[in-house]
Structure formats: structure tokens, C-alpha cells
Amino acid sequence: MDFNDTPEEASFRKEVRDFILAEAPLPKKGESGVEALMNSWEANLGWFKKLGQRGWIAPAWPKEYGGAGMTTVQQFIFNEEMALHKAPRPLHMIIGLGMAGPTLIVHGTEDQKKKYLPGMLRGEDIWCQGYSEPEAGSDLASLQTRAVRDGDDYVINGQKIWTTVAHIAKYMILLTRTDPDAPKHRGITYFILDMKSPGVEVRPLYNLGNSHEFNEVFFNNVRIPKDNVIGEENRGWYSAVTTLDFERSSIGSATGMKQNVEELIEYAVEHANDPTSTLNTNPMLRYELADRMLETEVARMLSYRVASMQARGLIPNYEASLLKLFSTELNQRIAKTAVHILGLYGQLKGDDAPNRGRWLATFLRSAAYTIEGGTSEIQRNIIAQRGLGLPRD
């Protein structure tokens, strides 16, 4: 592929960069993009409004649904510039904008698009994803949450787990089994669920970092109108795979990972003269940092490969799994390198800790990276079967 921008692409990149530098509430030195989002929420609401006026809240969506109708390459340039400058993104809407919305655009009815897409763009409606169950995680098609047709409604009973932001979500994209006698990849139906429906119970789950983003959700005779079916009854698996493709393509930012490694290098340089520094007591950490920096370049090349395929009208399959697998495992290695470099300081949190304890939180949170959106084992199976032509395990 040609790594150089065309004149049109270079002009668009400059437009995005100039807009970010002029309008975005950029994070302070040492502050992450997520911290900037949470620490200056009101300023960010104004920023999101400015993005929305250009259709840049959901830039790849068609213009008729409130997006900018960007090409694949434009979307890649936009995301790269946003990451390079740590410009705030509407992270609280990631499932709506990044997964539910694109799935509705592909598989939803016109009435569903008109009803649900505007709220996502305005940031008024937070969505969650009802996929995993206690006995159906990596083998998602084994899900057992039941939906039984009753007149114009479906009655839902069952449980979901690891449901991100379910405690603040207005809607859920929900996978259920409607035909228990069909093969497991069939007989599944995809729904839109109003989280305020009677019979929905949300219970919190806390991660290793003691933060509450995950939940378990119980359904006790919950009624969903038949108009809330996404796609066709008993063919929900095919719509669900669309959602997974969108999710996997958004996990792991090579630019963000490179910035994290650069931040660690800066910290190491600042403490180079400290005789108690881990860089002096363990010289091998210098090689560890070098490895992490090289690996971020590998991640960037994998990202370019996926983007270039999409630009040529190809559908990345095992290539997207390669990117997801490498990026999420690299995120974990970077977090581990960070706590190695910080030494005992890497166990601290609070305002007086290095980077206010962000690396400890990142390290604890990183355990989930290789589970979300399909485990590393699932990605390796996809790569082996579809990329290398090996038999199923």
C-alpha cells in the first residue's frame, strides 16, 4: 500500500487537525484522554456539539442518518488525528455509536433508524450490549436466554453478564434464543430492549481496579414488542456477527499505545539520574521499552492493512482478528512494562502517585482486554482456520 496521503487526503487531514487544535479541549500534560473527558465534562459537551454540526460524532455513518458519509480512508485519518491529539471522544456512547448504531443502519428497519439513531448522535441515549451469559461467553451461540412469542410481544427470561454500562443505559441490544430445537447458530433473535421495562434487574460487578463498569442483568418475564426485532426472527446470529465486526475493528488504538510508550520513555529519562530507579537497577527494562515501541509500529501496520482492505472494497476477516489479538495483548504488555518501570511506585494510586496512579488502574483493567469482543483463543482459532487454512480444533 501507499503510505502517503493523496492531495485530497492531505487536505482533509489538515482540516481535521486544524479543527482539533482550534476547538478541542485537549488534555493537560500527563492527563489521558479519558481523564480529560471526565474532568471537563461541560467543556466537552460543547466540543461534541461542534463535532455533531460537522457530522463528526459518527463520521462514517451515511449523511441521511446524521453522519458525514466519510470514506474508509477519511475515517482512518479522522481517528488517527483524534488519537494523536488526544481529543475527547464521546466514550459514554461507544456501544451506541460504535456497535448498535452501525448494526441498525445495516439490519434495522427505517422506523427503527428514525427512532433510535438521533438519540445516539445527540448523546442522550446510552446503550449496552446483552451478549455474554454465565455459560455462553466465547461460545456465544450457546446462549440460553429465552424469548417466547406472545401476541405482539416476546416474553424474555434469562440472564446476561459482563454487561458494560447496563446500570446507566437506556437501551440494550439483546440476543435471545427463540427456537431451542434449531442448531445453536440458528434460532437466535436480536432485539432492542428498553432497560426501564418491568422485570429487568441490573446488579453491579466490580473489576480488579474496583471500578464499576460491568454488570449482570436478569430478565423476569420482560415483554418486548415485536417491532423491536432487529432483522429477522431466528436469524439474529447474522446481525450479531455484524456487531462483533464493528466492535473488533474499534478495539486497540496503535496511536494511543504508542503515546503510552512515549510517556513511559519520558518518565524513564526524567528519572535516569536516580540511582534507585528501576532503569538503573534493571538495565533490561531499556530493551523492554524498545520492544514495546517496535510493537506499536507493528500494530499500526496491521491497522493500515485493515484500512487499506476496506478502502479497496474488501472485507477483513482473519486480518481483523490479527489486529484485535495483537493490539489487546500489546495493551497488556505495555501495562506490565509500566509497572516494571515504576517499581513500587507502580502500586500506588491517588494524586501523589506517578500520573495519579493511572498505570496501576490500567494494569488492573488490562486483564479484560483479551476477553472483550472475543477472547484471544477465539481470535487464534479464526486466524488458524480462515488465515492459515488449518482444520477446526
> Model confidence over 77-89: pLDDT tens digits?
888 898 888 888 7
Q: Is 379 helix (H, G, I), strand (E, B) or coil?
A: helix
What per-residue confidence (pLDDT) applies to 30?
Answer: 52
Distances 117 to 99, 233, 339 between C-alpha atoms, Å: 12, 22, 41
Residues 36 and 72 in one domain: yes
Name all contacts of 36-39 with Cβ < 8 Å and 24+ positions apart: 36/86, 36/88, 37/88, 37/89, 37/91
Quote the pTM value. 0.80
385 burial class (0-12, 13-18, 19+ CB within 10 angstroms)?
middle
Residues 259 and 378 in one domain: yes
Residue 107 lies in a domain: no
CA distance 289 to 303: 21
Radius of gyration of the chain (CA): 22
What per-residue confidence (pLDDT) applies to 91?
Answer: 59
CA distance 202 to 213: 12
Q: What is the pLDDT of residues 327-371, one digit of tens each?
A: 999 999 999 999 999 888 888 888 788 877 888 888 988 888 888
Residues 6+ apart with CB under 8 A from 344: none
For 319-366, give the DSSP string: HHHHHHHHHHHHHHHHHHHHHHHHGGGGG--STTSGGGGHHHHHHHHG
Q: Is 262 helix (H, G, I), strand (E, B) or coil?
A: helix
**Cβ-count burial 204-213 (b if 16+ within 10 Å, e if not):** eeeeebeeeb
What per-residue confidence (pLDDT) applies to 146?
Answer: 97
Cell numbers placing 121: 448522535
What per-residue confidence (pLDDT) applies to 36?
Answer: 47
Residue 117 lies in a domain: no
Nearest to 327 by CA among 304, 359, 354: 304
Mean pLDDT by 10 residues, the chain (393 residues): 84 95 74 48 71 83 85 84 83 77 91 92 86 86 94 97 91 95 91 97 87 91 97 89 62 77 90 77 87 94 84 81 92 93 85 82 86 85 92 80
Phi, psi of 87 (to 5 degrees): -70, 140
How many domains in the chain?
Answer: 3
Residues 256 and 230 in one domain: no
Residue 97 lies in a domain: no
Distances 358 to 26, 89, 342 between C-alpha atoms, Å: 18, 19, 12
Distances 312 to 1, 78, 307, 309, 347 between C-alpha atoms, Å: 11, 18, 9, 5, 46
Residues 222 and 257 in one domain: no
Residues 260 and 188 in one domain: no
Q: Which of 59, 89, 119 is the last residue of a domain?
A: 89
What per-residue confidence (pLDDT) applies to 249?
Answer: 52
Residues 209 and 256 in one domain: no
Residue type at 366 in one-letter notation: S
Active site residues: 247
Cell numbers placing 194: 428498553
Residue 101 lies in a domain: no
Q: At what angle do helices 72-84 and 284-311 cross, to 10 degrees?
A: 150
- Strand-pair category, 188-194 with 171-177: antiparallel
What per-residue confidence (pLDDT) applies to 29?
Answer: 56
Neighbours of 38 (CB within 10 A): 12
The CATH number given to whatever domain includes residue 156 is: 2.40.110.10
Residues 76 and 134 in one domain: no
Residues 82 and 149 in one domain: no
Residue 105 lies in a domain: no
What per-residue confidence (pLDDT) applies to 27?
Answer: 64
Q: Which of 89, 113, 146 is the last residue of a domain?
A: 89
Residue 191 lies in a domain: yes
Residues 368 and 328 in one domain: yes
Residues 140 and 183 in one domain: yes
Residues 281 and 316 in one domain: yes
What per-residue confidence (pLDDT) applies to 31?
Answer: 54
Give just the sign of the alpha carbon dihedral 144, 145, 150, 153. Answer: negative
What per-residue confidence (pLDDT) applies to 222?
Answer: 98
Residue 121 lies in a domain: no
Q: Could you list the residue range(s) of the whole structural domain that residue 303 is in?
A: 251-387
Residues 224 and 265 in one domain: no
What per-residue confidence (pLDDT) applies to 176?
Answer: 96
Residue 106 lies in a domain: no
What per-residue confidence (pLDDT) applies to 63?
Answer: 86
